[in-house]
Amino acid sequence: MSKLNLIGLPKSELETRLQDLGEKRFHGRQLFKWLYSVRQYDFELMTDLSKELRDKLSDSFEISGLKAEDHKISVDGTEKFLFRLDDDKPIETVVIPSEEEDRRPSAGSGRNTACISSQSGCAVGCFFCATGTMGLLRDLTAGEIVGQLMFLRDKYGPSAFSNVVMMGMGEPLLNFENVINAIRIMTDEIGLNISPKKIVLSTSGITPKIKKLAEEKVGVRLALSLHAATQEKRQVIMPIAKTFKLDNLMKAVRQYADSSKLPVTFEYILFDGFNDTRQDIEDLSRLVRGLRCKINVIAYNRVPGLDFKRPSDDKINWFGRELNQKVKAVTVRQSRGRDIEAACGQLAARKFEKDRVSAQI
């Protein structure tokens, strides 16, 4: 019989499991600390647990992390890992260095952003996204979500990253319970001990779940993948916008900003000839008026086989400058890791397609 993997179990569940073994609950807390704070994965080396308890643990449980199948490093320092889960499903994790200088994780500067996945594939199907072409393969467990961060710390040490964005493959709010459990492990002082303010949850706009996220009071920052500032335009590129209309969505976003007391980030990918006009700037600035927010304007990272194009550098800079006249906090970001297919899901989608074709032959 296969043993239960402890990675990803909430602290309270570890305590209950220990109680079920006839042990004191506080041993669950000790175990939690060994797993995430110390990152010790060998029961034998958990020295403040008795020999008898260590034997019981290794008889009943295992501690199993993620293993990378592929690793690419871009000329700009962005790193991408492709993982195969136990059932062979692919996911990706990207580490993006700070833009000021080359801050590769291996350089240990600690100012990197870890972009993690919450699902393998994605059901939302945004028309510009490589992950969207795969459909949903499955939700990640909480262990597979935090496992991406543990892998990076195991590889590069505690300063492997300083910020976390849930902006990789998948829609985090459609894997709600596992994502919340993962966030609790990330932010626990004896867990991965990451400040909630350093974690961004990025959503395509699942309105009821934004409200639910506010109720959970996990204190993470919210980012909305907006990409178009009117209902009509947004539903052209994001089918989910037909279900969750922009006016209600913006109400939920404003409520989240009020209750969390944190500014909201809007991600706005610029597509050539679609959302890059003066009218788009007017619409966008009107939409966010009065809201404490930041707008990230991101140049589209072209995905082979999809129709969207990246605007010229001049157009991108013009858009950022003009928008900045109307909205205080605007950043213009070039896509990172273009030479290693670092756009959301690109590498995994290509491998997935290759596997699918070879399975058909």
Positions marked active-site: 92, 344
Instruction: Tell me the closest approach of the beta carbon of residue 117 to ligand SF4, in angstroms.
Output: 8
Local structure of 2: helix, strand or coil: coil
CB of 49 to ligand SF4, least distance (A): 40
Least Å distance between CB 343 and ligand SF4? 9
Please, which residue, 96 or 122, has the CB nearer to ligand SF4?
Answer: 122
CA-to-CA distance for 358 and 355, rounded, in angstroms? 5
Residue ranges of alpha helices (H) inside 36-109 are: 51-60
Of these, 18, 46, 63, 126, which contacts ligand SF4 (CB under 6 A)?
Answer: 126
Q: Say whether residue 166 binds ligand SF4 (CB under 6 A).
A: no
Residue placing its CB nearer to ligand SF4 in the complex, 10 or 132: 132
Determine if 28 is a binding residue for ligand SF4 (CB under 6 A): no
Which residue is it, tokens 């297919």? 341
Kindly state whether residue 125 participates in binding ligand SF4, applying the rule CB under 6 A.
yes
Identify which of residues 46 and 164 has a Cβ nearer to ligand SF4 in the complex. Answer: 164
Report the distance separating Cα 39 and Cα 31, nearest Å: 10
User: Does residue number 122 form part of the binding site for ligand SF4 (CB under 6 A)?
Assistant: yes
DSSP states of 266-302 as a string? EEEEE-TTTS-SHHHHHHHHHHTTTS-EEEEEEE---
Instruction: Pick out residues in 195-234 that bind ligand SF4 (CB under 6 A).
Output: 204, 225
- The number of residues making up the chain comes to 361
Q: Is 151 exposed, middle or buried (0-12, 13-18, 19+ CB in 10 A)?
A: buried
Please report which helix (H) or strand (E) contains residue 255, including its range. Answer: helix 246-260
Member of 30, 74, 131, 175 binding ligand SF4 (CB under 6 A): 131
Of 41 and 176, which has the nearer Cβ to ligand SF4?
A: 176
The CA-CA-CA angle for residues 42, 43, 46, to 5°, reads 100
Site for ligand SF4, rule CB under 6 A = 122, 124-126, 129, 131-132, 169-171, 204, 225, 344
